[in-house]
């Protein structure tokens, strides 16, 4: 990877040490040009006309995402965020009293809220699978808990609040064997790690554009295994998702398009397209290796400082690093780093509800480098933390 060239193509690298890619990755010039170019075209010739002119390129976004995930283009639906994508899949499942939803401690807060809403509405039960000693989802416990009442297994690949990488392929083997749908929240993993739906064995996958994929804000996508369309009942029948059938009824569009709604942002979609193509060109394996290496280096450097501890769990860890500085609130550390031009964020106990309840660890400072981060930038951030001690 030509890191210097990639940084030259990333305007934000000139201004900040950006260690907040788990919040939003920095746009490349190519992605920026794709977004702005479409907005300029809309201003110049009209919004509908601009979309028509760019139709092939907009359509190719589905192929690009499918290639990235190892699925098919007609299994991809586009949204304005991962939450929307995830909700489109989750709200298409029908629960009855006594049905069980199995999830993990690292599940994203919005997903948990949706489980609780479904439980309140339908009488389904939410069961939290414990972690193993390393802190990842305990797959032996999952295998014990999964039974005839289980209607869904919903898991976050990488939580928002730490460096954990859950053992998703093992989870997929268990859900496949049990014939239970597996909804994977891959929001923090796509763009950071190689994510292959066939290798994982999930049935549904939601992701966002703006984090490690470096796409524009306000973009997200859902991958739906074609076989899952049989039991999914989309929540919204409208102009893009469905058609009148000539009689009194309607029919869903074929494929995952049945989860979309008509109005959307071609500019953002074209930006997402550019970002996905860039990830494909660099290679998810190479990106994954560099991200993991930078995360491990940063964790080691922080742990070496007296009074600083990192709190990332699991057997496999990624580029998200969470730390506590003795005697200082996480928000104070983040503010001090911001004054030195270092972008980080702070984990909120509410972000991963079950996790926070168990560990009592948050809030923590969250540092999330990306492949375009340099070792010198990590040193600068670590020195800034050391300066606070």
Ligand X SMILES: *Cc1c(COP(=O)(O)O)cnc(C)c1O
The mark string for 83-122 relative to ligand X (x by CB under 6 A, - otherwise) is: x------------------------x--------------
Looking at 180-188, 262-270, 293-301, 360-368, which segment touches ligand X (CB under 6 A)?
A: 180-188
Q: Is 160 in the site for ligand X (CB under 6 A)?
A: yes
Looking at 78-86, 245-253, 304-312, 315-323, which segment touches ligand X (CB under 6 A)?
A: 78-86
Report in angstroms how near the CB of residue 107 gets to ligand X at its nearest. Answer: 8
Q: Is the dihedral of CA 285, 290, 295, 300 positive or negative?
A: positive
Q: Is 82 in the site for ligand X (CB under 6 A)?
A: yes
Buried b (16+ CB within 10 A) or exposed e, 231-268: ebebeeeeebbbeeeeeeeeebbebbbbbbbeebbbbb
Report in angstroms how near the CB of residue 96 gets to ligand X at its nearest. Answer: 27
Q: Is 136 in the site for ligand X (CB under 6 A)?
A: no
Looking at 25-33, 181-189, 228-236, 301-309, which segment touches ligand X (CB under 6 A)?
A: 181-189
Q: Is 156 in the site for ligand X (CB under 6 A)?
A: yes
Report in angstroms how near the CB of residue 263 gets to ligand X at its nearest. Answer: 18
Residue 5 or residue 169: which is nearer to ligand X going by CB? 169
The C-alpha atoms of residue 356 and residue 359 are separated, in whole angstroms, by: 5
Q: Is 181 in the site for ligand X (CB under 6 A)?
A: no
Can you read off the two tokens belonging to residue 357?
Answer: 């309840």
What is the DSSP-derived secondary structure letter of residue 232?
A: -
Report in angstroms the alpha-carbon separations of 116 from 98, 103, 112, 113, 124.
14, 12, 6, 5, 9
Considering only residues 192 to 251 of the shown chain, the ones binding ligand X according to CB under 6 A are 208, 220
Closest listed residue to residue 355, CA positions, set 322, 316, 318: 322
- Interface with ligand X (CB under 6 A), residue total 12
Closest listed residue to residue 190, CA positions, set 84, 275, 270: 275
Residue 185 or residue 355: which is nearer to ligand X going by CB? 185
Report in angstroms how near the CB of residue 31 gets to ligand X at its nearest. Answer: 16
Looking at 31-39, 185-193, 291-299, 364-372, which segment touches ligand X (CB under 6 A)?
A: 185-193
What is the DSSP-derived secondary structure letter of residue 370?
A: -
DSSP 329-354: -HHHHHHHHHHTTEE-EE--TTTTHH
Residue 83 or residue 278: which is nearer to ligand X going by CB? 83
Torsions phi, psi for 257 (to 5 deg): -60, -20
Report in angstroms how near the CB of residue 158 gets to ligand X at its nearest. Answer: 7
The contacts of residue 203 (CB under 8 Å, 6+ apart) are 175, 181, 182, 183, 224, 225, 227, 228
Report in angstroms how near the CB of residue 136 gets to ligand X at its nearest. Answer: 15
The C-alpha atoms of residue 206 and residue 220 are separated, in whole angstroms, by: 8
Torsions phi, psi for 105 (to 5 deg): -70, -25
- The residues of the shown chain that bind ligand X, judged by CB under 6 A, are 81-83, 108, 156, 159-160, 185, 187-188, 208, 220
């Amino acid at each position: 990877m030509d890191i210097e060239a990639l940084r030259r193509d990333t305007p934000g690298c000139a201004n900040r040490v950006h260690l907040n890619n788990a919040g939003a990755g920095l746009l490349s010039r190519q992605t920026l040009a794709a977004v702005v170019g479409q907005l300029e075209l809309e201003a110049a010739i009209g919004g509908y006309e601009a979309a028509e002119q760019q139709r092939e390129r907009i359509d190719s976004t589905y192929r690009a995402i499918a290639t990235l995930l190892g699925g098919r283009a007609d299994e991809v639906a586009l949204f304005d965020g991962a939450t929307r994508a995830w909700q489109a899949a989750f709200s298409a499942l029908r629960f009855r009293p006594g049905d069980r939803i199995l999830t993990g401690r690292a599940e994203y807060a919005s997903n948990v809220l949706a489980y609780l809403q479904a439980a309140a509405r339908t009488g389904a039960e939410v069961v939290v699978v414990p972690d193993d000693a390393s802190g990842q989802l305990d797959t032996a416990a999952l295998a014990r808990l999964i039974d005839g009442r289980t209607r869904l297994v919903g898991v976050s690949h990488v939580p928002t609040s730490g460096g954990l990488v859950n053992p998703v392929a093992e989870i997929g083997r268990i859900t496949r064997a049990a014939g239970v749908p597996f909804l994977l929240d891959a929001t923090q993993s796509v763009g950071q790690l190689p994510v292959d739906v066939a290798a994982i064995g999930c049935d549904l996958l939601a992701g966002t554009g703006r984090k490690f994929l470096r796409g524009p804000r306000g973009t997200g996508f859902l991958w739906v295994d074609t076989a899952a369309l049989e039991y999914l009942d989309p929540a919204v029948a409208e102009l893009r998702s469905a058609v009148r059938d000539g009689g009194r009824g309607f029919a869903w569009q074929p494929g995952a398009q049945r989860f979309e709604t008509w109005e959307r942002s071609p500019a953002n979609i074209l930006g997402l397209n550019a970002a996905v193509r860039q990830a494909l060109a660099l290679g998810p394996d190479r990106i994954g290796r560099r991200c993991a290496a930078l995360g491990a280096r940063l964790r080691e450097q922080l742990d070496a400082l007296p009074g600083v501890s990192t709190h990332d769990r699991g057997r496999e860890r990624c580029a998200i690093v969470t730390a506590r500085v003795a005697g200082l609130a996480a928000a104070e550390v983040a503010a001090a780093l911001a004054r030195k031009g270092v972008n980080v964020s702070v984990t909120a106990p509410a972000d991963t509800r079950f996790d926070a309840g168990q560990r009592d660890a948050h809030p923590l400072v969250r540092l999330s480098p990306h492949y375009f981060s340099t070792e010198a930038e990590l040193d600068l951030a670590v020195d800034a933390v050391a300066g606070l001690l």
